[in-house]
């Protein structure tokens, strides 16, 4: 009888421990799920940020993680024409900031990273050196835009903010980073942390930009 009671007590303790363990695991999953940012939240919270918190920095490892994400972007026949030139030192950041126009320079003050985005010409949109259709090198720009989109969305998922700038001195940037002539310089992208909440722009009604047949 004594042994039976001991066995029952042991079984009860074991069952309690198993239930507690399962409960903790479930709580951990719930916590992780709660902390995860959904793709819809990334889309909804991404903004073109024009005011940065100068007290916050971003590491090279973090920038590398974002750029690795760009390699998942699709491109024409997997040509992967996009390239990036990353300014992180104070000297390079100042030099790039002086080449994007006075207004953009003010907008990106405090951003700890500035990136020049380019694409190799004659790759996307071409087959055996011949232009495949009337768009030609426009496909390189298209692929570069897809790559940039992956970059800015991955950045937002990590809590960072960006601004894509098309106003820039391409000749001076080419000289600053020794960018080859066969690369078209597209944009300069600032990377940092927003200072305050940017305004949400209005979007055109869907029926103005979409037609169903």
Output the tens digit of pLDDT for each of the chain's 213 residues.
444 444 444 444 344 334 444 433 333 333 333 467 899 999 999 999 999 999 999 999 999 999 999 999 999 999 999 999 999 999 999 999 999 999 999 999 999 999 999 999 999 999 999 999 999 999 999 999 999 999 999 999 999 999 999 999 999 999 999 999 999 999 999 999 999 999 888 999 999 999 999
CA gap 174, 184 in Å, rounded: 9
Question: Do residues 28 and 106 both lie within one domain?
Answer: no
Any idea what the CATH number is for the domain that residue 132 is in?
3.40.109.10
Per the structure, the count of domains in the chain is 2
Question: Do residues 30 and 53 both lie within one domain?
Answer: no
The answer as to whether 204 is a domain residue is no
Q: For CA atoms 205, 206, 209, 210, give the dihedral sign.
A: negative
Please tell me the pTM assigned to this model: 0.83
Domain that holds residue 179: 46-192
Question: Do residues 110 and 26 both lie within one domain?
Answer: no
CA gap 108, 100 in Å, rounded: 10
């Amino acid at each position: 009888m004594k042994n039976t009671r001991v066995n029952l007590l042991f079984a009860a303790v074991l069952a309690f421990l198993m239930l507690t363990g399962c409960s903790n695991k479930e709580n951990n999953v719930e916590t992780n799920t709660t902390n995860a940012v959904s793709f819809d939240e990334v889309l909804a919270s991404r903004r073109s940020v024009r005011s940065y918190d100068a007290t916050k920095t971003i590491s090279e490892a973090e920038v590398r993680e974002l750029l690795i994400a760009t390699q998942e972007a699709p491109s024409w026949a997997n040509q992967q024409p996009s390239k990036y030139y990353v300014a992180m030192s104070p000297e390079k950041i100042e030099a790039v900031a002086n080449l994007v126009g006075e207004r953009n320079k003010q907008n990106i003050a405090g951003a700890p990273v500035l990136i020049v985005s380019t694409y190799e010409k004659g790759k996307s949109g071409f087959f055996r050196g011949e232009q495949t259709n009337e768009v030609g090198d426009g496909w390189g720009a298209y692929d570069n835009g897809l790559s940039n989109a992956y970059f800015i969305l991955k950045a937002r998922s990590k809590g960072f903010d960006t601004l894509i700038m098309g106003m820039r001195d391409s000749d001076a940037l080419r000289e600053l980073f020794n960018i080859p002539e066969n690369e078209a310089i597209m944009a300069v992208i600032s990377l940092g942390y927003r200072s305050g909440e940017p305004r949400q722009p209005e979007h055109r009604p869907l029926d103005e930009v979409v037609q169903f047949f």
